[in-house]
């Protein structure tokens, strides 16, 4: 699976041309699949965005490097290579345990970030996007594939009317910390045949980015801080295990066989991609197009980022 577009988040989705419907049954002899995902090699450079050229620089700059730049690192990797926030799922299961739907998946715009960065969504499920910030955001959503991107929708993400609307002063913006939900936005997205990934970005703040993948059965997981994942009640059989990250453009797959009530360990090593992954890769020595005074006005009050 090759993703060829950078940027943009999402709201909801459904396959325009679904495969055979998944059948929910009682699984009495199900097994367990667990394992780890590690990134091997040098962690790719993050993205870098000059806040001075973008709106709401004081509020959004509360998370920055202290020199007027917002850093976005799509690769969350632990000290021993633990690859975090990676989606792992099984293909080839057409019947099994029911989907567990505790709540509708929700994406939050908070401190000028879209959280979470990666999301798993059922192919006929709605996703809610909510603005928690005192600044306006805008959702631009695309579906992606090796054939290129297709626009899904572009809608505003309004803020809560109780927020102040005059956070233009550096001190006022820096000291304001309230997060209140604006009107929830729901948008149905019909993915084209064969497409499973989608991405969303804020039209005002391009460093706000989130990716999603659509699944057709409930056998999926996201890796935790230790890079671990677990799937339970897997019907006995042989399946394809897929590892997905939006900026790893090579297919990461392996075959696993689950026996009745058995436990299988799958430890997966992903080779870190090399070369330039995005046009706005962070610079080692960013050019000083703006005065030092203007850059220092943007204070990383919440978090000072490293390149």
Residues with Cβ within 8 Å of 250's Cβ and at least 6 positions away in sequence, in order, are 271, 273
290 in a domain, yes or no? no
Answer yes or no: is 291 within a domain.
no
Our count of domains for the chain comes to 1
Give the angle subtended at the CA of 65 by the CAs of 63 and 68, to the nearest 5°.
Answer: 90
pLDDT band at 244, cuts 50/70/90? Answer: very high
* DSSP symbol at 172: H
Backbone torsions φ then ψ of 292, nearest 5 degrees: -60, -35
7: in domain: no
Cβ atoms within 10 Å, residue 66: 13
pLDDT in tens, 29-77: 999 999 999 999 999 999 999 998 899 988 999 999 988 899 999 999 9
The answer, yes or no, to whether residue 260 has pLDDT greater than 60, is yes
Q: Which two tokens stand for residue 222?
A: 């996201």
d(CA 289, CA 82): 37
Phi/psi for 265 (5° steps) reads -105, 125
CA–CA separation, 148 and 197 (whole Å): 11
Closest of 135, 4, 2, 112 to residue 64, by C-alpha: 112
Q: Which domain holds residue 173?
A: 14-283
Handedness of CA 116, 117, 123, 124 (dihedral sign): positive
Cα–Cα nearest to 155, from 166, 168, 139: 139
- Tokens describing residue 81: 């290579």
Residue 295 domain-assigned?
Answer: no
What is the pLDDT, as a whole number, of residue 10? 36
Alpha-carbon distance of 238 to 177, in angstroms, equals 50
pLDDT tens-digit readout, 284-303? 766 655 555 666 678 888 88
Q: Percent of the chain scored above 70 by pLDDT?
A: 83
Mean local confidence (pLDDT), 193-215: 88
Q: How far apart are CA 168 and CA 58, in angstroms?
A: 7
Rg over alpha carbons for the chain, rounded to the nearest Å, is: 21
User: Rounded distance, CA 141 to CA 153, Å?
Assistant: 5
**Token pair for residue 174?**
């820096």
Query: Residue written as tokens 């959280």?
Result: 115
Here the CATH number for the domain that contains residue 141 is 2.60.40.420
Strand partners, 229: 35
User: Within a domain: residue 152?
Assistant: yes
Give the tokens for residue 68. Answer: 């007027």
pLDDT one-digit tens code per residue, 157-166: 999 999 987 7
Q: Is 293 helix (H, G, I), strand (E, B) or coil?
A: helix
Count the neighbouring beta carbons within 10 Å of the beta carbon of residue 234. Answer: 24
| CB-CB contact of 46 with 102 (8 Å) | no
Calculate the CA 56 to chain-centre distance. Answer: 23
Confidence (pTM): 0.85
pLDDT at 66: 87
In a domain, 161, yes or no: yes
Q: Is residue 288 part of a domain?
A: no
Average pLDDT, the chain: 84
Residues paired with 235 in a beta bridge? none
């Amino acid at each position: 699976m090759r993703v060829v577009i950078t940027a943009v988040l999402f709201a909801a989705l459904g396959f325009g041309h679904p495969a055979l419907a998944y059948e929910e049954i009682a699984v009495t002899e199900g097994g367990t699949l667990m394992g780890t995902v590690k990134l091997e090699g040098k962690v790719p450079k993050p993205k870098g965005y000059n806040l001075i050229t973008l709106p709401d620089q004081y509020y959004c700059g509360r998370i920055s490097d202290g020199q007027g730049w917002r850093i976005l690192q799509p690769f969350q990797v632990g000290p021993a290579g633990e690859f975090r926030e990676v989606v792992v799922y099984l293909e080839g299961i057409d019947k099994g345990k029911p989907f567990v739907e505790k709540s509708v998946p929700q994406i939050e715009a908070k401190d000028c970030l879209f959280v979470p960065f990666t999301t798993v969504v059922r192919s006929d499920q709605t996703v809610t996007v909510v603005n928690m910030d005192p600044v306006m955001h805008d959702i631009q959503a695309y579906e992606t594939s090796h054939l290129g991107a297709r626009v899904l929708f572009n809608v505003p993400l309004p803020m809560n009317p109780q927020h102040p609307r005059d956070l233009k002063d550096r001190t006022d913006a820096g000291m304001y910390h309230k997060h209140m939900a604006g009107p929830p936005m729901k948008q149905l997205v019909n993915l084209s045949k064969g497409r499973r990934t989608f991405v969303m970005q804020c039209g005002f703040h391009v460093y706000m980015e989130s990716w999603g993948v659509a699944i057709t059965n409930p056998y999926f997981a996201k890796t935790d801080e230790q890079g671990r994942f677990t799937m339970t009640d897997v019907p006995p059989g042989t399946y394809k295990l897929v590892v997905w990250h939006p900026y790893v453009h090579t297919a990461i797959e392996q075959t696993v066989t689950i026996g009745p009530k058995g436990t299988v360990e799958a430890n997966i090593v992903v080779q870190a991609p090399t070369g330039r992954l995005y046009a706005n890769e962070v610079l080692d020595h960013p050019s000083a197009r703006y005065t030092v005074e203007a850059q220092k006005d943007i204070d990383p009050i919440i978090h000072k980022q490293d390149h």
